Structure 1
Amino acid sequence: MHYSRVTQPAALPSRSDPPDVIRDWLAGAHPSPEQARREWTRCGIALLPLGPRFDAVRIPGDLLHAAVGRGDIGDALNGPVIHDVRTLGPTYWALVPHLDEWPGDPETPLLSHGTYLGVPDLTVTGPPGSFWVSPPRRRHHLCRAEDVLALVAHGRRELGQEDTTDAEALCALAQELPPPGTLSDDRLRGRTCVWCDTPLTTETAFLDFGQLSTPQRWFPRACRPCTSERGRK
């Protein structure tokens, strides 16, 4: 997969926007912005569809920590980042402009159209649950795809051969994916495991391959048992 056209945000001044303005911009990603606002008020987190307004790149915690070290995550990516705790351990979501292509791998997938992400309210900046490590400072404030790629590459260099081996194992799993032409819409959209019919969400998927574009655009995800079985093989 090649890195191609990126829909970049408009040029913006360095100042920050008021929280309500940023909240309105985030809520605008939802077909019913009022629903997002109600979820923030009631639960502190809202499920927002990815793709129309921004995409998200998943970064494993050990990879990001290796890249940043003692530095500040917000400074490293200069954009909004969400912390989440998943079955795989601490996970970060870097919000980026919508991308036509993403040169990542199954360890750092791009999530886009057809996927929902739990986005905390701007006031949620600590645990429990998902929280902002670095909230957006203004409308259209997103991480640059180039910065995310550079951070991932640096994290892999810091982790050394062990991380390379893990990445190779994940790429091998991607080779085990069934042909998309043989799959149901639920499997193509990641609503169920790509290898079985176990229902999945962004939070419960054990492995997310992100958006794949060949031979068609699809979003395979996998449950833990299927991933473990194929990992042993």
Structure 2
Amino acid sequence: MSDARAPVEPSPGVLVHSARDRESASAHWLLSAAPALKEARREWAENGITVLRCGGIFTAIRISAGIMHAAAGTEDPVAVSDYLARVLRGPVFADQTSRRFYVLVPASTSKLPVWKGNTVPDVECLGGSSFLGVPRPGRDDPCETRCHWVVPMDGPGDLCSPHAVRQLIDYGRFKRAAVERADDE
């Protein structure tokens, strides 16, 4: 994982927000998607995860770990995190039990032609009728938690490009198919 908490030396006149400030701002922003705010805060405090509604301030693309690992060329959590941070430049979290990654994209993504009626195996665009368990910002240690941020939010509204996500999916599917073909030979 990249060290988002590394010290920063600002240039004169540049305002720098700490990782804790960015996590807090991201949490407040995400909580605006909570069906019940008090309950969501309590769930984050007690369990580190709460249910949020997709389609209002964000949409999520659910992608199988197989596609993500194929694209990254590894299953190593640190290497996968670094790769996704470089290519997506936005928030991604993972559920280790279901072996799925969730990429946060703008709410309008589900209306794009490429995502309407999506038929890509192991991929689903979760729009306005979907609810999703989302980890609390700052919950990013894969060794300690089942559901954690692989690439944390950098601040409120920090989302991935849906086009970059689609390219990553296509690349991962291509690499996975190439490995499967090689195994069959």
State the TM bucket, normalised to the shorter chain. Answer: 0.7 to 0.9
Structure 1 position 116, deviation (Å): 1.1
Equivalence map 1:71-150=2 (5 Å): 71-87=82-98, 90-98=99-107, 99=109, 100-101=111-112, 102=115, 104=118, 105-127=120-142, 128-150=145-167
RMSD: 2.3
SS of structure 2 residue aligned to 1:47: strand
Residue deviations 1:24-83 (CA, integer Å, cap 9, x gap): 000011133232211111111111111111111111111111112245222221110011
Unaligned runs of 5+ in 1: 1-14, 165-233
Which residue, out of 62, 65, 71, partners 1:67? Answer: 71
Q: Distance in 2 between matches of 1:18 and 1:137?
A: 6
Q: Distance in 2 between matches of 1:32 and 1:163?
A: 45
Which letter maps to 2:102?
W
Is the CA contact (8 Å cut-off) linking 1:27 and 1:34 kept in structure 2?
no
Unaligned runs of 5+ in 2: 1-15, 74-78
Percent of residue pairs bearing the same amino acid type: 32
Q: Distance in 2 between matches of 1:162 and 1:20?
A: 42
Q: Distance in 2 between matches of 1:55 and 1:163?
A: 31
Which letter maps to 1:49?
R
SS of structure 2 residue aligned to 1:24: helix
Q: Normalising by structure 2, what TM-score?
A: 0.72
Q: Distance in 1 between matches of 2:97 and 2:22?
A: 31
The structure, 1 or 2, with the larger RCO (C-alpha pairs under 8 Å, 6+ apart) is 2
Q: Which is richer in helix?
A: 2
Structure 1 position 124, deviation (Å): 0.9
